[in-house]
Amino acid sequence: MYPSSTLVLVKVDASWLWSSQSAREALLEPVADILDNAREDGSSSPSRGVLLHVMSNGGGMQLMTLSKVLAKRPGSSRRPPGLGPVALVLDSLPDGDGLRCMIVIYTSQTKNPIAKYAAVPLLAFLYSLFYLSYGNPPVLQEVRQRLNTPNLLPGFSASDASTGTDATPRLYVYSDADKMTRIAEVDSHVEEARRRGFDVRTEMFDKTAHVSHAKGDPERYWNAVAEIWRKARTRYEPKLFAKL
């Protein structure tokens, strides 16, 4: 869509679920460096900015970890955002039941129903053991909470009439046929986001599988993404001209 842009691709696999918090944060340090360098650049232009495209609950875990990494950096709260326009796309997230999602991940390729049911107790045991060992809260519940905090990342905000702060535009893309991320879970998160003052748009597809909405209807999908980015630029440009 934007061929002159810098593309930062952050991947996640099943091993991420079994990593400690410190190991997760170490993997996201290079991404935090890129954002910090962009902030310190200091140039203001609507052609700059960050379009954050998060895929699935694993992507939500990555985003939450990146948020924590940036928050821990010295002087992070005192630095200006400096990123230009920002927008957030949430594709097929967030669900809140980590154990259920893990079971879907590990059994989705198994056709034998007996093998599927036999795997559930083992997966539940490993899931419980992991969180007891590391002392982490249920990770997808934490992702849901973190996504609806105003200071998710530098430059992100919710609407605040007392300070004149505009909300960062966000787009939820999801489907009634997604077996991983349930539609009711996304709908409840959307409602909470709106209550908290976020600028929310939703795009609900019919009969498209988990993170397959762009394949199901590419034109509709990418038009929605382009629209949320145009909204972010429109939100940012008056502030830019006010500084000139």
Our count of domains for the chain comes to 2
Same domain as 170, residue 62 = yes
Q: What is the pLDDT of residues 105-132, one digit of tens each?
A: 888 878 888 888 888 898 888 888 777 7
Tokens 């232009």 found at: 45
Q: Mark which of 82, 115, 137 sits at the end of a domain.
A: 137
Residue 41 structure tokens: 């650049």
Q: What is the pLDDT of residue 127?
A: 80
Q: What is the pLDDT of residue 43?
A: 57
Kindly give the parts of the chain with pLDDT less than 70: 42-47, 75-83, 133-137, 161, 164, 238-244
Q: Mark which of 137, 169, 194 sits at the end of a domain.
A: 137
Beta carbons of 148 and 179 less than 8 angstroms apart: no
Residue 168 structure tokens: 């960062």
